[in-house]
């Protein structure tokens, strides 16, 4: 297996800067593709040093920390595409062929002797030509576009946060919000669900709505963190949202921010001694809250529960440790998940421990509800319950988000949210891009991508869906009442 180079921080910047400044023009042999370019195109640019160094730092951090090995020439190609996108220019206009970023060979080390093995000259040419076409373009905008291009080329979850966006993490978010659970899907900001009794819900925002703009600013190129930051502010202040609903109708909505008090766990006792717990998110205190709700349910019933329904629908994840802790509450033993980092030896296995299994008796039958918006940590929990034959999983195939992001702080306090690991289920089976398929698949008027394709895998497919009631919860109650076996159906 080839190991691509890890460039020392600053070395790439020195090479490219020397090319842009023309210092190396006389000593570096140009390829034939660039022999007809005028020497005047290598004008001196000394104002870009800081931002070029930032680009070099981001480049280096990606190579060192991204969970997959990425060839440096491919990264430079993504950077070039980011620059062209923000300037509305083409490769043809700047006189650089895109093939140079995919055809160059790479070696294990980068030094002045072998730097020609990377397409540094074409990248420097592209920067220079872009500056000629767009003299109004500031170096900050140019190199930030290059960094965003690199991140876009990695995966949907990896993003770059500039100084304004990074304030979210450095200074903390303002306390008032409008109470929406959001997710970025295909570059669109989609409402997973409005929180109960929230300003967003009272304003008429619904699950599935897309936020097109915030106070007149399009969300098309915003990171999810930036969107969340802009939706927050001082209590009582307003924010104008341009919304498109699931039928394509658009409208503008004015929402007033308020303090959001969100309990990550909700519960109620159903007929027949069946407990119902809605787990909204894996927050820092969710494990403690879950155990408290379990105890409360048993106290209400006056004796051990006959069954338990754990609702993970619309749960988009949260903290990995919390997901593991809550899974451990329901398992006496067995694998929970495996975290695979960049290296072959960078593996962490999480297994259930008997010490965590103290809140729910083994005799209690368990049904887990999932849907297409169940993601990340919630998928860890559902998969572990399924793999260890602890619960019947019912609903719709989950999102398939199996990546873990880490925050990398750059020297000017900008950030990379970089995918540094993936998690898998028992037997090293993938969750990312696959999701969790229920044992009992529900299909009907709402979209579902698993049941029809996978009837052989689903032990049972239920077609009826009522639109005015929670039919999935009714089905879960019926399954518990009929005392379905706890084994996963194949």
Q: What would the pLDDT profile of 417-438 be if each residue is shown by its tens digit?
A: 999 999 999 999 999 999 999 9
Can you give the C-alpha Rg of the chain in angstroms?
Answer: 26
In a domain, residue 97? The reply is: yes
- What pLDDT does residue 17 have? 65
Examine the domain organization and report whether 91 and 19 are in the same domain. yes
**Nearest Cα to Cα of residue 457 among 489, 414, 413, 411:** 489
Q: Which residue has the higher pLDDT, 285 or 461?
A: 285
**pLDDT tens figures, 59-96:** 989 988 999 988 888 899 999 999 999 999 999 998 88
CATH classification at residue 449: 3.90.226.10
Dist. CA 107–CA 130, nearest whole Å:
29
- What pLDDT does residue 27 have? 34
Dist. CA 433–CA 306, nearest whole Å:
35
Q: Does the pLDDT at position 225 exceed 50?
A: yes
In a domain, residue 388? The reply is: yes
Q: Does the pLDDT at position 6 exceed 60?
A: no
Q: Which of 284-298, 350-364, 374-388 has the highest mean pLDDT?
A: 374-388
- What pLDDT does residue 326 have? 93
In a domain, residue 117? The reply is: yes
Q: Does the pLDDT at position 385 exceed 90?
A: yes
Counting residues of the chain whose pLDDT is more than 70, the rounded percentage is 76
Q: Which residue has the higher pLDDT, 8 or 317?
A: 317
| Total number of domains in the chain | 3
CATH classification at residue 235: 2.30.42.10
- What pLDDT does residue 217 have? 93
Q: In residues, how long is the chain?
A: 490
Under the banding of pLDDT at 50, 70 and 90, the label for residue 172 is: low
Place of tokens 């297409």: 372
| Token code pair at residue 373 | 């918006």
Question: Considering only 100-104, 175-179, 415-419, 471-475, which range has the smallest mean pLDDT?
Answer: 100-104
- Boundary residue ending a domain (237, 259, 281): 259
**pLDDT tens figures, 187-204:** 899 998 898 889 999 999
Counting residues of the chain whose pLDDT is more than 90, the rounded percentage is 43
Beta carbons of 264 and 286 less than 8 angstroms apart: yes
- Boundary residue ending a domain (208, 236, 259): 259
In a domain, residue 410? The reply is: yes
Examine the domain organization and report whether 312 and 386 are in the same domain. yes
Examine the domain organization and report whether 435 and 323 are in the same domain. yes
- Boundary residue ending a domain (239, 259, 279): 259
**Nearest Cα to Cα of residue 128 among 48, 43, 55:** 43
Q: Does the pLDDT at position 9 exceed 60?
A: no
Beta carbons of 286 and 312 less than 8 angstroms apart: no
Bridging pattern class, strands 307-311 and 274-279: parallel
On the CB side of 465, CA atoms within 13 Å amount to 13
Examine the domain organization and report whether 477 and 387 are in the same domain. yes
Dist. CA 202–CA 198, nearest whole Å:
6
Dist. CA 110–CA 11, nearest whole Å:
8
Angle of CA points 351, 357, 359, to nearest 5°? 145
Under the banding of pLDDT at 50, 70 and 90, the label for residue 14 is: low
| Token code pair at residue 399 | 């999102």
In a domain, residue 159? The reply is: no
Q: What is the mean pLDDT of the chain?
A: 80
Examine the domain organization and report whether 117 and 15 are in the same domain. yes
Alpha helices in 99-193 (DSSP H): 100-103, 120-133, 139-152, 163-170
**Nearest Cα to Cα of residue 2 among 159, 162, 109:** 109
Under the banding of pLDDT at 50, 70 and 90, the label for residue 303 is: confident
Determine which helix (DSSP H) or strand (DSSP E) holds 407, and give its type and residue range.
strand 403-409
Examine the domain organization and report whether 274 and 244 are in the same domain. no
| Token code pair at residue 472 | 């999935």
Examine the domain organization and report whether 128 and 184 are in the same domain. no
Dist. CA 180–CA 86, nearest whole Å:
30
| Token code pair at residue 77 | 């190609």
**pLDDT tens figures, 94-134:** 888 888 887 544 443 344 444 445 667 788 888 888 989 99
Render 85-118 in DSSP notation, one character per residue: HHHT--HHHHT--TTHHHH----S---TTTGGGS
**pLDDT tens figures, 315-339:** 999 899 999 999 999 988 899 999 9
Q: Does the pLDDT at position 469 exceed 70?
A: no
Bridging pattern class, strands 210-214 and 188-194: antiparallel
Mean pLDDT along residues 482-488: 50
- pTM for the full model? 0.77
Under the banding of pLDDT at 50, 70 and 90, the label for residue 23 is: very low
Q: Does the pLDDT at position 488 exceed 50?
A: no
| Token code pair at residue 12 | 């790439």
In a domain, residue 466? The reply is: yes
Examine the domain organization and report whether 23 and 96 are in the same domain. yes
Beta carbons of 370 and 442 less than 8 angstroms apart: no
Examine the domain organization and report whether 254 and 270 are in the same domain. no
- Domain with 17, as residue range(s), is 11-154
CA 125 to chain centre: 34
- What pLDDT does residue 196 have? 83
Place of tokens 């090293």: 428
Examine the domain organization and report whether 255 and 318 are in the same domain. no
**Residue-wise burial string across 164-182, b where 16 or more C-beta atoms lie within 10 A, e elsewhere:** ebbebbeeeeeebbbbbbb
Bridging pattern class, strands 250-256 and 258-259: unpaired
Q: Does the pLDDT at position 211 exceed 90?
A: yes
Classify residue 116 by its DSSP letter: G
Sign of CA dihedral 60, 222, 258, 198: negative
Examine the domain organization and report whether 253 and 269 are in the same domain. no
Dist. CA 197–CA 255, nearest whole Å:
13
Q: Which residue has the higher pLDDT, 453 or 335?
A: 335
In a domain, residue 1? The reply is: no
In a domain, residue 246? The reply is: yes
Using alpha carbons, list the distances in angstroms from residue 249 to 178, 194, 241, 252, 326: 21, 19, 14, 11, 40
Backbone angles phi, psi at 229, to 5 degrees: -60, -45
Examine the domain organization and report whether 327 and 187 are in the same domain. no
**Nearest Cα to Cα of residue 406 among 163, 65, 162, 167:** 65
**pLDDT tens figures, 134-170:** 999 888 999 999 999 999 889 888 999 888 777 766 6
Backbone angles phi, psi at 182, to 5 degrees: -120, 160
């Amino acid at each position: 297996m080839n190991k691509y180079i890890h460039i020392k921080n600053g070395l790439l910047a020195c090479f490219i800067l020397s090319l842009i400044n023309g210092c190396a023009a006389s000593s570096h042999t140009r390829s034939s593709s660039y022999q007809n370019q005028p020497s005047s195109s290598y004008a001196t640019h000394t104002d870009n040093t800081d931002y070029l160094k930032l680009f070099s730092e981001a480049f280096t951090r990606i190579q060192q920390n991204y969970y997959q090995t990425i060839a440096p020439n491919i990264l430079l190609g993504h950077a070039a595409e980011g620059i062209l996108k923000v300037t509305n220019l083409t490769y043809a206009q700047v006189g650089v062929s895109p093939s140079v970023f995919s055809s160059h060979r790479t070696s294990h080390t980068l030094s002045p002797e072998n730097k020609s093995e990377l397409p540094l000259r074409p990248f420097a040419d592209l920067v220079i030509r872009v500056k000629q076409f767009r003299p109004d373009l500031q170096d900050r905008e140019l190199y930030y576009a290059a960094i965003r291009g690199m991140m876009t080329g990695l995966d949907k979850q990896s993003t770059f946060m500039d100084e304004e966006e990074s304030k979210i993490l450095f200074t903390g978010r303002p306390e008032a919000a409008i109470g929406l659970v959001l997710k970025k899907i295909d570059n669109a900001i989609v409402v997973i669900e409005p929180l109960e009794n929230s300003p967003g819900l009272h304003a008429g925002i619904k699950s599935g709505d897309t936020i097109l703009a915030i106070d007149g600013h399009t969300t098309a190129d915003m990171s999810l963190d930036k969107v969340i930051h802009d939706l927050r502010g001082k209590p009582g202040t307003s924010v104008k949202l341009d919304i498109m609903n699931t039928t394509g109708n658009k409208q503008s909505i004015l929402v007033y921010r308020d303090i959001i008090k969100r309990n990550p766990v909700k519960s109620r006792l159903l007929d027949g001694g069946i407990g119902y717990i809605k787990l909204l998110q894996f927050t820092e205190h969710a494990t403690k809250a879950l155990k408290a709700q379990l105890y409360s349910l048993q106290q209400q019933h006056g004796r051990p529960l006959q069954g338990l329904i754990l609702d993970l629908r619309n749960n988009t994840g949260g903290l990995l440790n919390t997901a593991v802790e809550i899974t451990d509450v329901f398992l006496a033993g067995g694998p929970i998940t495996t975290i695979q980092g960049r290296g072959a030896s960078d593996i962490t296995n999480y297994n259930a421990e008997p010490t965590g299994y103290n809140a729910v008796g083994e005799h209690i039958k368990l049904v887990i509800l999932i849907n297409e918006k169940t993601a990340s940590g919630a998928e860890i929990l559902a998969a572990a319950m399924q793999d260890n034959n602890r619960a019947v999983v019912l609903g719709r195939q989950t999102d398939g988000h199996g990546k873990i992001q880490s925050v990398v702080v750059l020297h000017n306090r900008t950030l990379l949210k970089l995918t540094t690991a993936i998690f898998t289920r028992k037997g090293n089976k993938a969750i990312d891009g696959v999701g969790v398929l229920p044992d009992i698949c529900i299909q009907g008027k709402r979209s579902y991508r698993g049941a029809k394709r996978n009837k052989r895998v689903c032990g049972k497919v239920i077609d009826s869906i009522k639109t005015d009631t929670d039919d999935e919860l009714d089905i879960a109650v019926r399954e518990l009442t009929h005392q379905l076996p706890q084994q996963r159906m194949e």
